[in-house]
Amino acid sequence: MNSIQDCYSLYNGVNVPCVAFGTWKMPDEVAEVSVACAIQNGYRHIDTALAYQNECGVGAGVRRSGVRRDELFLVSKLPNDDHGYEKAIAACERSLRNLGVDYLDAYLIHWPVLVENQDRLEEDLCNTWRAFERLYADGKLRAIGTSNFLEEHIELIKANFQNYPMINQVQMHPQNPQEEMVAYCQANRILPEAWSPLIQGQAFKRELLIETAAKYGVSVAQLCIRWIFQKGVVPVPKSTTPERIRNNADIFGFSISDEDMEKIATLRTYGMIGNPPSVPRTHQVVGF
Active site amino acids? 52
Cα distance between residue 79 and residue 57, in whole Å: 18
207-216 helix and 220-230 helix, angle to the nearest 10 degrees: 90
The set of residues, in sequence order, having a beta carbon less than 8 Å from that of 53 and lying 6+ positions away, is 27, 28
CB contact at 8 A, 140 and 99: no
Neighbouring residues of 267: CB distance < 8 A, sequence distance ≥ 6: 174, 175, 206, 208, 209
The number of beta carbons lying within 10 Å of the beta carbon of residue 165 is 25
Q: Classify 25 as helix, strand or coil.
A: coil
Pairwise CA distance, residues 9 & 163, whole Å: 16
Q: How far apart are the first and last CA of the chain?
A: 26
| Mutual angle of helices 179-187 and 151-160, in 10-degree steps | 20
8 Å CB contact between 44 and 4: yes
- Give CA 1 to chain center in angstroms: 19
Q: Strands 234-236, 73-78: parallel, antiparallel or unpaired by DSSP?
A: unpaired
8 A C-beta contact, residue 130 and residue 100: no
Which residue, among 170, 162, 122, 180, has the nearest Cα to 146 in the 3D structure?
170
